[in-house]
Amino acid sequence: MKKLTLLLEDGTALPGESFGADTETSGEVVFNTGMVGYPESFTDPSYTGQILVLTYPLIGNYGVPGSSKNAHKLEKHFESDRIRISGAVVANYSENFNHWEAKQSLGDWLTSQNIPAITDIDTRTLTQKIRSKGAMLGVLTKHPEQFFDSRGKIILEKFYDPNKENLVAKVSVKRPITYRTHTAQRSALFPSSSPHFPQPKHPKHIILVDCGMKLNILRSFLERDISVTRVPWNYNPWKKDPKAKFDGIFFSNGPGDPARLPEIVETMKEAFRRKIPTFGICLGSQIMGIAAGGTTFKLKFGHRSQNQPCIDLETKRCYITSQNHGYAVDPKSMNKDWKVWLQNANDQTVEGIKHKSLPFSSVQFHPESTPGPTDTIGLFDQFIAQL
């Protein structure tokens, strides 16, 4: 293994060994406390621009599955078509792996996609630093001395801050794509009823605004016989066609600062004006908070794990949820027609909001899991019941 150093913006240098691509990278250093799920997490577009620290000490022991696609040509094992993190940081990388679906090692997978990674790092100490000081900018480099001036002072201008740009535009689809369920395909194939081929009930159809969507969100709708038109982040269906008809609109997860996305906010406000059933996850929840007249703020170190407890304030039930976000909605900023629906049991931040009378709601966590628990998968069914 070659030498590599994780250098933080405060000047902390953590030397280790490279086990990914022989290259350098920069981004925001964040941590995830999940014990498993690195193939899903690494391909989650919400991690775009971030160097991910995995706090579980042993990483790579079950390898990486091969590419396999379903009937809709969607990856079965990954959350997008490629690795999205900028780099990985682990304590102990396992070169030996064993799993019945594994096709390659984690190191080989990272190398094939030109993603650097570092091992032999005290991730416990690193995580404690991030929890204390907050998420920090960092670089994975072979030449850390290049980031200091002649007086030994860190050169902050050399650090890349992903939160200063529109990351959603980088990860969203570029054109609309429609996914029709089996029922919809049958309906088109046999448009008229007959004794041999009775007309199936036509499924519901939604618009999905892709802000950096995890594929299991799309899989979750298709498995429930919901046809989906997936559109780019800045696509307003009513501007394209003022008479456009569909049953609901969904806003996905994604990376970056929600305050930088006024185009998405305006699309959601238009959905509100038309009283279209509207649902959002993660970034989609932050967008809903802004569309509801509120504001968002950056969390000190974010929520990235598979065991975040969230309380439904209506039923008092506590759910264990999978999360990956760095921003939250200010509960005091929304107008009087809205209410906090779910709350994080650890720090009391907003985990879900809903309109008091209309079919608009969102959650900050990931009911589609991948990775993580499926406690809240029924939220898809609740939204579908409103269509």
> Which residues are designated catalytic?
282, 366, 368
Residues whose CB falls within 8 Å of the CB of residue 256, separated by 6 or more in sequence, listed in order: 48, 49, 162, 163, 165, 166, 167, 168, 283
pLDDT of 190 strictly over 80: no
Cα–Cα distance, 131 to 18 (Å, whole number): 25
- Joined together, the tokens standing for residue 45 give 């577009």
Span 214-251, pLDDT tens digits: 999 999 999 999 999 999 999 999 998 888 889 999 99
Span 345-384, pLDDT tens digits: 999 999 999 999 999 999 999 999 999 999 999 999 999 9
Average pLDDT over residues 265-270: 98
Span 146-157, pLDDT tens digits: 999 999 999 999
Residues whose CB falls within 8 Å of the CB of residue 271, separated by 6 or more in sequence, listed in order: 249, 278, 360
- Work out the percent of the chain whose per-residue pLDDT is above 70: 95
Angle in degrees, CA 375, 378, 381, rounded to 5: 170
Angle in degrees, CA 147, 152, 154, rounded to 5: 40
**pLDDT on residue 244:** 85
Domains and CATH numbers, the chain: 3-163 (3.50.30.20), 168-385 (3.40.50.880)
8 A C-beta contact, residue 361 and residue 367: no
Cα–Cα distance, 12 to 91 (Å, whole number): 17
- Residue 225's closest CA among 196, 200, 250? 200
- Residue 235's closest CA among 164, 285, 172, 287? 172
Instruction: Report the mean per-residue pLDDT for the chain.
Output: 94
Helix, strand, coil percentages (3-state) for the chain, rounded to 5, are 25, 30, 45
Band of residue 202 on the pLDDT scale cut at 50, 70, 90:
low
Span 315-332, pLDDT tens digits: 999 999 999 999 999 999
Span 277-299, pLDDT tens digits: 999 999 999 999 999 999 999 99
Angle between helix 283-291 and 262-273 (nearest 10): 60
Span 83-128, pLDDT tens digits: 999 999 999 999 999 999 999 999 999 999 999 999 999 999 999 9
**pLDDT on residue 261:** 98
**pLDDT on residue 108:** 98
